[in-house]
Structure 1
């Protein structure tokens, strides 16, 4: 008797078979493409299908006092993204317990959510294409902004 694979295990196996470097981690998987690492999480949807969440750590950090300008810039960037969105997540530091007045730092992350009808070959191909375009689109938008004449400053 074989043990049925979870949605995540089936997705990881499919991505590995297609040539991607995928490493299972805790409750998800890490997909490496050059310097880029995309975290992938999958769970069965109660009404059917599978929800896949993608997280791209851009290694950009923003101080609390820069938030108004950064939020306006991120809003403009998000309007041009089709396969994901930029979000801010507070970064927890070990010093937080000691100094409640210290400014909060936020990490800039790319995030995307994709619903797959099933884990058949067509839907897994759609996931691979979504993953490729998500990574390329978010990375390109951020690099263009940071290296352009009027970039985000953090």
Structure 2
């Protein structure tokens, strides 16, 4: 009953402000204010306000929220304990994925190295054959792997 009175008063005050705004020839703003001021009385008439006050002020509802929070906490603790026991459950697929990537490389390819010179930073179109005898087999293997 008290919440209905408060919502009715808020709606009446909002409609008064909307009337003053319309008097000042700001009709668009007055329409918006009137729309917002009708929301509280609409909530009272639909019964949502009574339902919300029942939810907020009933101890049994808060006990239910407490039980749900305890349930969520127990679930998270069990997940953490499971991960610690198995050694991190989700790391195993990542290790298998990394092994598959290693197998996908060309057989003759080695890890790229940054040797003397700046051959690694040169664009491919401008690469010259070196008379120093540099080995570009790893680069050729990578290019072949990508079909270039």
Q: Determine if the TM-score, normalized by the shorter chain, exceeds 0.5.
A: no
Q: Which has the higher strand share?
A: 1
**Structure showing greater relative contact order (alpha-carbon pairs closer than 8 Å, 6 or more residues apart):** 1
Larger radius of gyration: 2
Q: TM-score, normalised by structure 2?
A: 0.23
Q: TM-score, normalised by structure 1?
A: 0.22
By percentage of residues, which structure has more helix? 2
